[in-house]
């Protein structure tokens, strides 16, 4: 096997069935990175606790998400895929890192302010410490590269700062500063044609829908708002369906839509039908693999447990080094 270029770490909260935004913005990249890097992908259930009102769905959401990742092409024989809380060393490192983290920096982060605004009834201690836990995830596995969307870039920078502070304060080089890697498509727009695709806005298209459900969902997509009737010419440059064609349709079809939309040769309904057909074709291998995997749910849990076993081998070493650097007794 060719020498790998380093280690990749990424985590995502257990949000259940994944949608096109998750796929194009994250999972596709996770799959591709496996060729060149040792990859560690984590379902961060502890992070989810900071925002959830109910925790009853975490288990099911974790399972569904793992199923989607595997069906999309994560290879568990080489890649470590696991559940965050199954490797408890992360919580200890989180505590150690909190000692070199100025509180004011945490409360100044735009992501904290945004979350606090969204859930004023639940501004908990964990919410403030979210970036420290994220830093502990990344630093525990000595990641070289962290692939994230633009919105998370400040947290990776923050992780680098914490690593520097820790290394400086305890005169060590134990913690490795990671590099951020942005995903190719940092923002996939939802069916409303305006906002980032997201489950909470109900503007998403799940990968695991049936072909019929996919068509129905695509039909709700908002196109060029200026185009009121079939006879009006449209503007593909401002149409989210056209953006999707560019990803899922052939160059000839993209060209056809580009020309015909502008001269009202094709209507939005037919344009969406074509996109839905191509999306369904593209997702077919994913869906059949998913159905196959879903026949043995225990296999999914076994993969996650095996991942945790392999992850904890790395985690134990880093934590021990961190404890030694600080001078905590053995």
Q: Applying CB under 6 A, which residues contact ligand ADP?
A: 12-13, 15, 21-22, 25-26, 148-149, 186-188, 196-198
Query: Of 15 and 249, which CB lies nearer to ligand ADP in the complex structure?
Result: 15
Min dist. Cβ of residue 219 to ligand ADP (A): 20
Give the residue at shortest CB distance from ligand ADP: 25
Min dist. Cβ of residue 174 to ligand ADP (A): 26
Query: Of 6 and 149, which CB lies nearer to ligand ADP in the complex structure?
Result: 149
CA distance 262 to 235: 6
How many CA atoms within 13 Å lie on the side-chain side of 329? Answer: 0
Min dist. Cβ of residue 48 to ligand ADP (A): 8
Query: Of 21 and 267, which CB lies nearer to ligand ADP in the complex structure?
Result: 21
Min dist. Cβ of residue 227 to ligand ADP (A): 24
Query: Of 15 and 62, which CB lies nearer to ligand ADP in the complex structure?
Result: 15
Cβ neighbour number for residue 329 with a 10 Å cutoff: 4
| Distances, alpha carbon 159 to alpha carbons 35, 49, 92, 164, 225, in Å | 25, 20, 16, 9, 41
CA distance 71 to 323: 39
The structure tokens 């196959």 sit at 292
Min dist. Cβ of residue 320 to ligand ADP (A): 28
Query: Of 126 and 186, which CB lies nearer to ligand ADP in the complex structure?
Result: 186
CA distance 208 to 190: 16
* Burial of 279 from C-beta contacts in 10 A (0-12 / 13-18 / 19+): buried
């Amino acid at each position: 096997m060719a020498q790998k270029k380093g280690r990749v770490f990424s985590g995502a909260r257990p949000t259940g069935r994944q949608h096109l935004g998750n796929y194009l913005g994250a999972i596709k990249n996770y799959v591709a990175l496996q060729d060149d890097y040792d990859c560690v992908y984590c379902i961060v259930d502890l992070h989810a606790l900071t925002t959830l009102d109910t925790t009853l769905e975490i288990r099911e959401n974790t399972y569904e998400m793992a199923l989607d990742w595997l069906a999309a092409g994560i290879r568990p024989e080489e890649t470590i895929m696991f559940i965050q809380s199954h490797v408890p060393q992360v919580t200890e490192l989180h505590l150690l890192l909190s000692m070199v983290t100025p509180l004011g920096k945490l409360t100044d982060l735009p992501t904290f302010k945004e979350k606090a605004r969204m859930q004023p009834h639940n501004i908990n201690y964990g919410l403030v410490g979210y970036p420290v836990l994220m830093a502990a995830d990344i630093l525990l596995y000595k990641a070289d590269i962290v692939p994230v969307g633009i919105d998370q870039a400040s947290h990776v920078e923050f992780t680098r700062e914490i690593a520097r502070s820790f290394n400086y304060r305890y005169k060590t080089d134990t913690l490795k500063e990671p590099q951020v890697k942005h995903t190719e498509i940092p923002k996939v727009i939802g069916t409303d044609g305006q906002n980032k695709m997201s489950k909470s806005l109900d503007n998403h298209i799940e990968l695991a829908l049936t072909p019929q459900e996919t068509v129905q969902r695509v039909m709700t997509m908002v196109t060029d708002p200026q185009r009121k009737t079939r006879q009006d010419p449209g503007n593909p440059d401002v149409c989210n369906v056209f953006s999707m064609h560019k990803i899922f349709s052939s160059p000839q079809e993209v060209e056809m839509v580009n020309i015909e939309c502008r001269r009202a040769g094709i209507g939005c309904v037919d344009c969406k039908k074509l996109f839905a057909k191509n999306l369904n074709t593209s997702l077919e291998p994913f869906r059949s693999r998913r159905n196959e995997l879903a026949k043995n749910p225990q296999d999914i849990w076994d993969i996650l447990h095996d991942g945790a076993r392999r992850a904890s081998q790395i985690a134990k070493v880093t934590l021990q080094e961190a404890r030694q650097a600080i001078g905590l007794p053995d």
